Amino acid sequence: KPAAPFAINQIVHKSNDRLDHDMAMCEKYKVPVVITSLGAREDVNQAVHSWGGVVMHDVINNKFANKAIEKGADGLIAVAAGAGGHAGTTSPFALIQEIRQWFTGPLALSGSIAHGRSILAARAMGADFAYIGSAFIATEEARAVEAYKQMIVDSNSADIIYSSKFTGVHGNYLRPSIVNAGLDPV
C-alpha cells in the first residue's frame, strides 16, 4: 500500500513530443497528482480529472496563475526567484501575496527551499507547502553523476545564471554546469 500519493511532472508545451505517450501512462497508472508546466492546458487538466487525479500547475507570476486556474488546474506551484530550471524572477514574498489575494486553493512555493527553515517561511508567507527539487539531486538515492551532485553542493546563489539561451524559455542554470558543457555562461 502506498504511504502517500506520488506525483509526476509533465511539460505540456507543444514542443513536448512525448506528451501523448506520457499522459497515456499517467492514465494507465492513475497518477494521483500531475504537475504541469510551460502552458496551462484544459485538455490535460480534463484528462487528469477523468481518472480522479489532481493538477498542480507551475506559475512564475500572477497572470499565469490566473490562466492556470481558469483552464482547470486544481492548485498552483509558485516558482519564485531562485528556483532551479524554468523559473521566474519574482520575490516569493510578492508572488505568494499576489496569488493569495484571490486564490484559496492548494498553493506551493518553489525556489531556494533546501531545509526546514525555508519550509516554515513558505508556510508563514501563506503557501500550503513547499516544493523542493534541486536539494534532492545531491542525495544518495538520486541517479545523477557524482560530479554533478558535488557541483550542486558546492554552488551558491552567485553561481546562478538566468537565461533563455539554452531552451528558449528563461530559466536558472548553474554556471559550473554551463562551463562543463563547453558553453559560454554569459
**pTM of the entire predicted model:** 0.90
Which is it for the CA torsion 103, 4, 172, 151, positive or negative?
positive
Q: What are 163-183's pLDDT values in tens digits?
A: 988 888 888 889 999 999 898
77 has a pLDDT exceeding 80: yes
60 has a pLDDT exceeding 80: yes
pLDDT of residue 84: 83
Cα–Cα distance between 65 and 86 in angstroms, integer? 15
DSSP state of 157: G
- Alpha helices (H) in 40-174, listed in sequence order: 42-50, 62-70, 92-100, 116-125, 134-137, 146-154
Least Cα distance to 108 among 142, 133, 141, 135 occurs for 133
**Burial of residue 137 (number of CB atoms within 10 Å: 0-12, 13-18, 19+):** middle
Average predicted confidence (pLDDT) for the chain? 93
2 has a pLDDT exceeding 80: no
- Cell numbers describing residue 120: 516554515
For residues 106-113, give the mean pLDDT. Answer: 94
